[in-house]
Amino acid sequence: MQQGKYTYSSFACIFVILVLGLNFGRDVYISLSGDSYRQKPPFPPDRIVGADFQCYNYMALRVRYGLPLYDERDYSDSRQLAMDDHYRRLLGPMPEEYKSWIIRVQPIPWNHPPLAACLFIPFSFLPHPWAYRLYLGVLIAALIAGLSILGRYSIYRMQYWTVASSLIAFSYPLMFSLERGTSESLAMFLVAMVFMLWYGGWSPVWTGLCVALAGHLKVYPFALLYYFLIKKEWRICASIVVSSVSLALAGSIFSREGFSGAILQYYKMYRFVVDKYIPEYTWIFAGNHSTYSFLCYATKGWVLSPRSLLILANIINLALLALFSAGISARKAEGLPCRLVDFSLMIVLMMIIPAAANDYSLVMLYFVFAACILCFERMRLESMKERILFMLFSLTASLIFLPTMKIPVGDGPTGGYIEGLWFISNKWPLIIILAAVLLILRMSSSVGGNSIQANIPGDS
């Protein structure tokens, strides 16, 4: 531990106290106002066991029965009737009206890649309650494994896990993700693997394969291809492209629509997302932290069509990408901290660029905050600039993961926001502040290595 009036441990304690204080303040606010994301958070949620996980299993069954993923239900097809009966049996002891409702609300067409449904086929052989419990265990294990990958680079392991645990244990994205059964923890683990393989100089083939797997689970990790293009990692870029195509071809083996029909699924998914999902659905829910969603709320008094808002959002996103490219090109990344910051900036951007960015995808930011912890470990925190930067990071981290929504109600971009706290509820402004903190860290000479306090294996 460094000598001096201020130590990293003292600032880590401040971080933990801030997280606990904000959560306590939120509980007091809820008690006085009655506002909350859910009045009585159920677990498992409601009478259904993981809404998004149910959708994954429903689509996995459609693959098993040879039904298309991106077409509406066709009850003139005997396979559809047989599959729905099979699904009812998987739901277990539940009133038939609930089962019918659950089947009716499963989103058709789907907005995930076809391979994601194929990966969930093993769970479709188990009753839903047990399958969901097993899946929750997989999600939690993947989250811990992803944090452990970064933890191996930590100088102060105890402080690292204390700070990370205090932030994550009761945070909004984790609760949201486990309640819905989304696959973000798996994607975060794969992204952490990508960094470890890239930074450790492992085979580009494995690095590209992890990017491709994460992208086939949740499309937005494919943004890492842009990152490696900027870094001129041509072999990794080639591996991402070849692995992605290979996985798409492998997924076609499970499809009974034939090879051409399986490949056409990707085009159908693209058309559904662009023509229907983005214009009609993504702005209704308060828990969407995308640039597009933020503009929908910020311009609610204007008369702008969804298409115009989407164009404006894309202009802002392109400007942010240009700033990102200039930022990481201004100084060559040397050592672990700079590479972590560069990589984390790309993760932050891929969180807000998609028009549909539900808040459970903020699980990916656990990687970013763990990376920041590793950077601050290597700073002396003696100058006023460094202390202010740490406090700004701490406040941003706490607020991004602090639940501030009430139950989404009504139509339009106001549905679900606590009006007085919409700036926090939306999350987009806080994510932009986080990106600014990362850029300042990137440009700081201390991150470049001048203030590194210790070396660890693998640190260049």
pLDDT tens digit sequence for 330-349? 666 678 888 899 999 999 99
Structure-token pair, residue 12: 């880590």
Q: What pLDDT, on the 0 to 100 scale, is given for residue 282? A: 59
Between the alpha carbon of residue 278 and those of residues 273, 364, 416, the distances in Å are 6, 21, 18
Question: Is residue 304 included in any domain, yes or no?
Answer: yes
The residue written with tokens 């969804």 in the block is 306
Cα(116)–Cα(118) distance, rounded to whole angstroms? 5
At 283 the pLDDT is 57
Within a domain: residue 303?
yes
User: Using only C-alpha atoms, what is the Rg of the chain?
Assistant: 22
In a domain, 404, yes or no: yes
Residue 364: alpha-carbon gap to chain centroid? 4
Residue 6, pLDDT score: 63
> According to the model, what pLDDT value does residue 408 have?
44
Q: What is the pLDDT of residue 286?
A: 65
41 burial via Cβ count (<10 Å: 0-12, 13-18, 19+): exposed
Number of domains in the chain: 1
Cβ distance 150 to 330 under 8 Å? Answer: no
Amino acid at 185: S
Residue-number span of the structural domain to which 146 is assigned: 8-450
Peptide bond into 109 cis (omega under 30): yes
Tally of CB atoms within 10 A around 278: 20
DSSP element (H, E) containing 358:
none
Q: Which residues of the chain have pLDDT under 70?
A: 1-6, 26-49, 255-259, 279-286, 330-333, 404-424, 445-460
> Side-chain half-sphere of 446: how many Cα atoms within 13 Å?
20
Q: Is 459 inside a domain boundary?
A: no
Is 457 within a domain?
Answer: no
Q: Is residue 2 part of a domain?
A: no
d(CA 20, CA 284): 31
The tokens describing 303, both together, are 């008369």
Q: Distance between CA 325 and CA 304 in Å, rounded?
A: 30
pLDDT of residue 272: 80
* Amino acid of residue 246: S
pLDDT at 418: 60
What local confidence, expressed as pLDDT, does residue 167 receive?
84
Q: Could you tell me if residue 244 is inside a domain?
A: yes
**Does any domain span residue 460?**
no
Q: What is the pLDDT of residue 242?
A: 94
